[in-house]
Amino acid sequence: MVSKNRVLLISVLIVFCAIIFSCGKSEEKGTLFSYRAINDKDTALLRYTKLEDNRFFGQYEIMYGGSRKDSGEIRGIISGDTLKGSFYYHSYGGGVLKRYPVAMLKRENKWLLGKGIISVYMGIPSFLKTEPIDYSNPEFIFEEVKK
Give the separation between CA 37 and CA 110, rounded to whole angstroms: 10
Distances (CA, A) of 36 to 1, 63, 82, 109: 63, 11, 17, 12
Measured distance CA(91)–CA(55) in Å, rounded: 25
- Tell me the whole-structure pTM to 2 decimals: 0.74
Whether the Cβ atoms of residue 103 and residue 87 lie closer than 8 Å to each other: no
**Average of per-residue pLDDT values in the chain:** 84
| Mean pLDDT on 96-125 | 94
User: For the ranges 22-36, 56-70, 129-143, which has the lowest average pLDDT?
Assistant: 22-36
pLDDT score at 112: 97
* H or E element at residue 30: none
- Distinct helix (H) and strand (E) counts, the chain: 1, 10
